[in-house]
Structure 1
Amino acid sequence: MFRQASRHLARTLRAGARPFSTDLSAAPTTDSAFVESWKKVIPNIEPPKTPSHFMQPRPPTASSIPSKITVNFVLPYASELSTKEVDMVIVPATTGQMGVLPGHVPTIAELKPGILSVHEGNDITKYFLSSGFAFIHANSVADIIAIEAVPIDHIDPSLVQKGLAEFTQKLSSATTDLEKAEAQIGVDVHSALNFALSG
């Protein structure tokens, strides 16, 4: 029965009965074409809710760009920054360093090991992040969630060099896929730490 409903739905969509729209400013609506198709095939079971049912309207975009961006920076065990208004943050996204200013386009970015820089006037605070996500909202709010983070001036360069040497050795002697993966993660993190301290 479910196969029949999905085939019927696919035919309906191909026929162009349901227009595609990326406009999220309207309130969520019921997908009437889907519900109608469902009830033809399975009249005794309520149709499931589609993703559009759960979508909320986008927040209104401010008429003018604020002068500061509000940053929330949290870890699983602590809140490093809470509603801190700053000039700019630079996050280590997997696609490269990403600078975030007030009025930035809404974005979700996966973070890789690297430096998070928080710029407030002439003051720059740097943290080393292991990984996480940055959520940039249309209202000039940036939520940065990291698995682990430490202020860059709390890192001991000699321990970084020692860790890099140990994980490089483990990588060269690894025999299983698990050992190789664990050693590669150690090499990547320590290499990023080493680069952060030298740069």
Structure 2
Amino acid sequence: MAEPGHLTLTVVTPERSVVERVACDSVSLPGELGELGILPGHTPLVALLGVGRVTWTDGGKKTAVAVRGGFVEVAGDAVRVLADLAAEKDGIDATAAREAQSEGEVRRLGVVGQEELDAVNADVAFAEAKIAVVQGG
């Protein structure tokens, strides 16, 4: 249970629990249709998760994890992120993320269909999110 005026954030993937954070001041995350900002007292919500960073503040300190796909649920002051993929700073190889970003940008040039383009764009966006997490944002 969150402290009054705070949020509880949980981020899980099918393989593991990535983060369990009590007493977050705010959460920002990539919805499928755009960025979502969550504060204590937010309206209940279930939404598709996009590709990008889940960031949260706790006493002015900002922390982030990279996510790709899944769902987010906001109920009361609990924010539950069920991500297809997630990566926290300690588990990210920055060099591999930069290489994945570059390779994805090259692959875009040979894309034929929209479905393939969407997949390549998601690969690039996830690599960019990982790089941003490593760089502290």
Short-chain TM bin: 0.7 to 0.9
Counterpart code for 1:90: S
Q: Which residue is 1:73 aligned to? A: 11
Two-structure CA RMSD over aligned residues (Å): 2.7
Residue 92 of structure 1, aligned match among 30, 34, 38 = 30
Does residue 143 of structure 1 match 2:77?
no
Structure 2: unaligned runs, 5 residues or longer: none
Secondary structure in 2 aligned to 1:148? strand
Taking CA–CA contacts closer than 8 Å with sequence separation of 6 or more, which of the two structures ends up with the larger relative contact order? 2
Normalising by structure 1, we get a TM-score of 0.55
**Matched positions, count:** 131
Identity of aligned residues (%): 23
Q: 1:97 to 1:196 in 2, by over 3 A?
A: farther
Larger radius of gyration, structure 1 or 2?
1
Q: 1:195 to 1:149 in 2, by over 3 A?
A: closer
Per-residue deviation, residues 112-134 of structure 1 (Å, max 9, x unmatched): 11010121112222100011111
CA distance in 1 between counterparts of 2:115 and 2:30 reads: 21
Structure 1: unaligned runs, 5 residues or longer: 1-65
Instruction: Please state which structure has a larger fraction of its residues in helix.
Output: 1
Normalising by structure 2, we get a TM-score of 0.76
Structure 1's consecutive aligned runs of 4 or more residues displaced over 4 angstroms after TM superposition are none
Per-residue deviation, residues 147-198 of structure 1 (Å, max 9, x unmatched): 11111454344323322332333343356xxx86345413333245326635
Does residue 126 of structure 1 match 2:60?
no
